[in-house]
């Protein structure tokens, strides 16, 4: 069975890495893979570093579809990926997550009558203003094999009429990467320069359009955070989308350290040793849950409710007023402890490959 794996953006690289390692470890003579990088994220800091740090082999092809509007990028990926599939026929296209590449490549595969597998299927924010939710819905509406991170995600798919034998609750590949790399995290080079001390700083990441596209809104959030952290440093590895907006605002604050996006090993070193993470990322709420680090999410909803019901995450919403009371709870030592969701045990990719192997044997 020929499997074409798709990776396009930062969170994809972290999810695809363990799947590739598990395919290699499985060593089946009946299965081989081809890795397609769509080029959605393309620079050293958002792409290359992850290939190096996570031992992902060089992609077989890079479609170089970076930049552009949502529609331009979707169209560019679809055109390039159709050519790729015609030149390199495959039996299964495996997509991960919820980025533009996930949706664009699934559509192309399905229209060429190729089966589609979706890793991280079934999660829902029910917020149609998020491009990611549209990507999830479109992808899951044409997926053939659904790999889920939680029972809740599987239930969502069943409710949508998906046959049970197409749904595989395997766990979380992002956590596979976290657990396999946890003993290799790297203290960032600026640790001493900034005089950082374990549990005495915050990590902040923001990149959702609802938080960062409006300068005034972004500045209000940053003000509210930096004014209520009792002068502890706030480390802000800045996403390219946010950097563009923040540059225009000229915002600065002595507590806020704006830094380039970090490599995976440096970023998660910072997270593991932080007092708390403030974020609007989805993946980071999963990682903080597993590492037991308090996490505040600046969103009105989440497609990962398990990080709140079981984990260390709380949804604060997008109103800056919610930040101060949450920080008070944290500083009073009253943040919840949390536990780890079922099957987030580092073996999700292995389970996925076992399913793929069965498919290969039945071809």
Instruction: Tell whether residue 205 is a contact of ligand UDP (CB under 6 A).
Output: yes
Instruction: Tell whether residue 7 is a contact of ligand UDP (CB under 6 A).
Output: no
Choose one: 31-39, 156-164, 247-255, 260-268; the region binding ligand UDP (CB under 6 A): 260-268
Q: Given 21, 37, 118, 207, which residue is catalytic?
A: 207
Instruction: Tell whether residue 311 is a contact of ligand UDP (CB under 6 A).
Output: no
Binding mask 155-174 for ligand UDP (x = CB under 6 A): -------------------x
Least distance CB 78 / ligand UDP (angstroms): 21
Burial class (CB in 10 A: 0-12, 13-18, 19+), 86: exposed
Bridge partners of 61, per DSSP, are 36
Going through 191-312 in order, the beta strands assigned E by DSSP cover 202-205, 234-237, 256-259, 276-279, 295-297
Instruction: Tell whether residue 10 is a contact of ligand UDP (CB under 6 A).
Output: yes
> In the set 59, 171, 188, 261, which binds ligand UDP (CB under 6 A)?
261
Pairing of strands 167-169, 32-37: unpaired
Is 41 an annotated catalytic residue? no
CA distance 20 to 349: 8
Instruction: Tell whether residue 39 is a contact of ligand UDP (CB under 6 A).
Output: no
For residue 332 the two structure tokens come to: 């009073």
Could you tell me if 276 and 199 are in contact, meaning their C-beta atoms sit under 8 angstroms apart? no
DSSP string, 88-105: S--SEEEEETTSHHHHHH
Q: CA-based angle 4:8:13, to the nearest 5? A: 85
Choose one: 8-16, 67-75, 149-157, 227-235; the region binding ligand UDP (CB under 6 A): 8-16
Going through 193-346 in order, the beta strands assigned E by DSSP cover 202-205, 234-237, 256-259, 276-279, 295-297, 313-315
Least distance CB 193 / ligand UDP (angstroms): 18
Least distance CB 358 / ligand UDP (angstroms): 29
Q: Which residue's CB is nearer to ligand UDP, number 157 or number 262?
A: 262
> In the set 262, 277, 308, 352, which binds ligand UDP (CB under 6 A)?
262
Least distance CB 310 / ligand UDP (angstroms): 18
Counting every residue, how long is the chain? 363
Going through 140-233 in order, the beta strands assigned E by DSSP cover 145-148, 167-169, 202-205
Instruction: Tell whether residue 47 is a contact of ligand UDP (CB under 6 A).
Output: no
Q: Which residue's CB is nearer to ligand UDP, number 84 or number 287?
A: 287
3-state helix, strand, coil in the chain (%, to 5): 45, 15, 40
Give which of 58, 64, 51, 66 is closest to 14, Cα–Cα. 51
Least distance CB 332 / ligand UDP (angstroms): 28
Q: Which residue's CB is nearer to ligand UDP, number 226 or number 268?
A: 268
Instruction: Tell whether residue 267 is a contact of ligand UDP (CB under 6 A).
Output: yes
Write out the catalytic residue numbers: 207
User: Residues interacting with ligand UDP, by CB under 6 A?
Assistant: 10-11, 14, 174, 205, 207, 237, 261-262, 264, 267-268, 281-284, 287
């Amino acid at each position: 069975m020929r499997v074409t794996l798709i990776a396009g953006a930062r969170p994809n690289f972290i999810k695809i890495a363990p799947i590739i390692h598990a395919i290699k470890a499985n060593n089946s003579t009946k299965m081989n893979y081809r890795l397609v990088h769509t080029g959605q994220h393309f620079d050293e800091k958002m792409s290359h570093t992850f290939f190096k740090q996570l031992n992902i082999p060089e992609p077989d092809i890079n479609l170089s579809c970076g930049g552009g509007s949502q529609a331009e990028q979707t169209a560019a990926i679809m055109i390039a990926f159709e050519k790729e599939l015609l030149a390199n026929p495959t039996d299964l296209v495996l997509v991960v997550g919820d980025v533009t590449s996930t949706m664009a490549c699934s559509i192309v595969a399905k229209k060429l009558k190729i089966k589609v597998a979706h890793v991280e299927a079934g999660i829902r924010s029910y917020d149609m203003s998020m491009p990611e939710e549209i990507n999830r819905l479109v992808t899951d509406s044409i997926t053939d094999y659904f790999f889920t991170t939680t029972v809740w995600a599987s239930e969502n798919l069943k409710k949508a009429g998906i046959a049970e034998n197409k749904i595989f609750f395997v766990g979380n590949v992002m956590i596979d990467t976290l657990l396999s790399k946890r003993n290799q995290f790297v203290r960032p080079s600026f640790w001493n320069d900034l005089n950082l001390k374990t549990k005495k700083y915050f990590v902040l990441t923001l990149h959702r359009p609802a938080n960062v596209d409006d300068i005034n809104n972004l500045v209000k959030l940053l003000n509210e955070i930096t004014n209520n952290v009792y002068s502890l440093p706030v480390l802000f590895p800045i996403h390219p989308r946010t950097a563009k907006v923040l540059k225009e605002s000229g915002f600065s604050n002595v507590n806020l350290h704006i830094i380039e996006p970090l490599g995976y090993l440096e970023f998660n070193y910072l997270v593991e040793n932080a007092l708390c993470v403030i974020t609007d990322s989805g993946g980071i709420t999963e990682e903080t849950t597993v590492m037991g680090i308090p996490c505040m999410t600046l969103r009105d909803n989440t497609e990962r409710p398990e990080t709140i019901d079981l984990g260390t995450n709380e949804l604060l919403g997008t109103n800056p007023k919610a930040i101060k009371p949450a920080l008070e709870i944290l500083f009073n030592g009253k943040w919840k402890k949390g536990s780890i969701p079922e099957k987030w045990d580092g073996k999700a990719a292995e389970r996925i490959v076992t399913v793929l192997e069965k498919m290969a044997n039945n071809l």
